[in-house]
């Protein structure tokens, strides 16, 4: 895996949406994504990242009770059409297909023609509302090239576990896109953990959140983009709207992936297991 600087000068202009969604108002929420895609493309963006479950609003219990598989399928096609009509790649999150009691929380990346490039199902569900409304995913994040960069998807709570971003990094990711629904009071996730994940894996993490109150939950905003040096390229604060960051192949001083000693770590784990028995 080539992580050295100077091999690719391609820059991708990323737009991130930070806004309030109206729970269960799919038509209105999709219209906001469409308007944001148009605005982002006119500003020169190549890719728009939107928050977790934005089309439905972040309301796990209401989604389980009221959002049909047909509505999910319709929203998925509408989002693909937005990408194609506006000529911009798009990363979005929806409930998974199928019956409500079998659904995961998913993220999808499509290119500017609306063609699906990547899909992912959230592997770490947060809190009782999510755990009673969705199933956790089990598949590792996949990596695909888009716009000259190798990209992966994670969702919200996933990024708080070092194993998830490391799994994407070991598969060659240079950028990890994270739709999220981070509650107010947890801003250190965005401003401490997200930069740490970027730094320890020598990649870029883009983290797009809701802001405002949805279904009684106050969401934090604090959408960020963290570079491979751990510094924030963007911090959206509490404002609604679009923020932008220019992404390129990560240029790293210390390559933690190259210096890992996985055989040693396996031995440590085996010794721990032996010590416990």
Could you give the residue ranges of the DSSP H alpha helices within 89-234?
A: 127-133, 162-170, 187-188, 194-201
User: Which residues share a beta bridge with 151?
Assistant: 144, 175
CB under 8 Å to 4, separation ≥6 — which residues? Answer: none
CB under 8 Å to 47, separation ≥6 — which residues? Answer: 12, 13, 14, 15, 88, 89, 90, 91, 146, 147
Q: Catalytic one among 122, 130, 160, 187?
A: 122
Question: CA-CA distances (angstroms) from residue 107 to 7, 73, 92, 123?
Answer: 30, 13, 6, 11
| Helices and strands: H and E segment counts in the chain | 9, 14
258 is written with which tokens? 């190259």
CA distance from start to end of the chain: 39
214: annotated active-site residue: no
Q: Distance between alpha carbon 265 and the CA centroid of its chain, in Å?
A: 28
The span from the CA of 24 to the CA of 199, in Å, is 37
Buried b (16+ CB within 10 A) or exposed e, 26-47: beebbebbbebbbbbbeeebbb
112: annotated active-site residue: no
Q: Distance between alpha carbon 200 and the CA centroid of its chain, in Å?
A: 18
Q: Catalytic one among 104, 112, 130, 156?
A: 156
275: annotated active-site residue: no
Give the residue numbers annotated as catalytic, written as ranges: 52, 122, 156
């Amino acid at each position: 895996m080539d992580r050295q600087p100077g091999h690719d000068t391609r820059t991708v202009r990323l737009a991130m949406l930070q806004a309030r969604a109206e729970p269960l108002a799919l038509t209105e929420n999709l219209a906001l994504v469409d308007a944001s895609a148009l605005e982002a493309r006119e500003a020169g963006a190549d890719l728009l990242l939107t928050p977790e479950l934005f089309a439905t609003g972040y309301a796990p219990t209401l989604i389980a009770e009221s959002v049909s598989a047909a509505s999910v399928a319709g929203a998925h096609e509408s989002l693909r059409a937005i990408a194609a009509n506006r000529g911009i790649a798009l990363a979005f999150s929806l409930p998974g297909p199928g019956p409500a009691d079998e659904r995961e929380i998913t993220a999808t990346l499509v290119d500017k023609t609306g063609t699906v490039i990547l899909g992912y199902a959230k592997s770490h569900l947060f809190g009782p509302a999510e755990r009673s409304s969705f199933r956790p995913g089990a598949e590792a994040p996949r990596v695909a090239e888009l716009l000259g960069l190798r990209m992966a998807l994670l969702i919200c709570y996933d990024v708080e576990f070092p194993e998830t971003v490391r799994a994407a990094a070991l598969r060659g990711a240079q950028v990890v896109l994270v739709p999220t629904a981070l509650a107010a009071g947890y801003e250190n996730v965005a401003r401490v953990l997200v930069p740490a994940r970027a730094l320890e894996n020598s990649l870029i993490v883009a983290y797009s959140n809701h802001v405002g109150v949805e279904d009684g939950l106050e969401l934090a905003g604090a959408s960020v983009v963290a570079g491979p040096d751990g510094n924030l390229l963007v911090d959206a604060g509490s404002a609604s709207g679009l923020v932008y960051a220019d992404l390129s192949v990560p240029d790293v001083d210390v390559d933690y992936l190259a210096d890992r000693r996985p055989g040693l770590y396996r031995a440590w784990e085996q010794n721990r297991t032996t010590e416990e028995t």
